[in-house]
């Protein structure tokens, strides 16, 4: 059994405060409260992409993909795929 949660959120770049739109996908066999996902995204309102990915994976586990477009560069981080 697998549950997939998808959430978009905005975080500011710590270097120049520009807003970055993130797309998160969590795949897990656990139940995750959507309110917890939304709150975790708010906690990371100004952080580097990789740090956000690390924090979200520590909180929710599973297999996670975090995507964003940073100042002309597409970044995708994956956690839990090992």
Give the CATH number, domain containing residue 53: 3.30.1130.10
Output the pTM of the full model. Answer: 0.94
9 bridge partner residues: 22
Q: What residues have CB less than 8 Å from 40, skipping those under 6 apart?
A: 55, 56, 59, 60
Residue corresponding to tokens 């795949």: 27
Structural domain total, the chain: 1
What's the domain range around 72? 3-79
Instruction: Decide the pairing of beta strands 73-79 and 63-70.
Output: antiparallel
Measure Cα distances from 34 to 15, 28, 37, 44 in Å.
29, 13, 5, 16
* Residue-wise pLDDT tens digits, 29-78: 999 999 999 999 999 999 999 999 999 999 999 999 999 999 899 999 99
């Amino acid at each position: 059994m697998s549950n997939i949660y998808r959430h978009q959120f905005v975080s500011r770049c710590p270097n120049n405060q520009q807003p970055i739109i993130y797309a998160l996908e969590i795949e897990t066999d656990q139940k995750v409260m959507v309110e917890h996902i939304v709150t975790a995204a708010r906690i990371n309102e100004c952080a580097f992409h990789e740090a956000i990915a690390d924090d979200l994976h520590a909180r929710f586990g599973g297999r996670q993909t975090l995507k964003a477009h940073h100042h002309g560069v597409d970044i995708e981080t994956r956690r839990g795929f090992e």
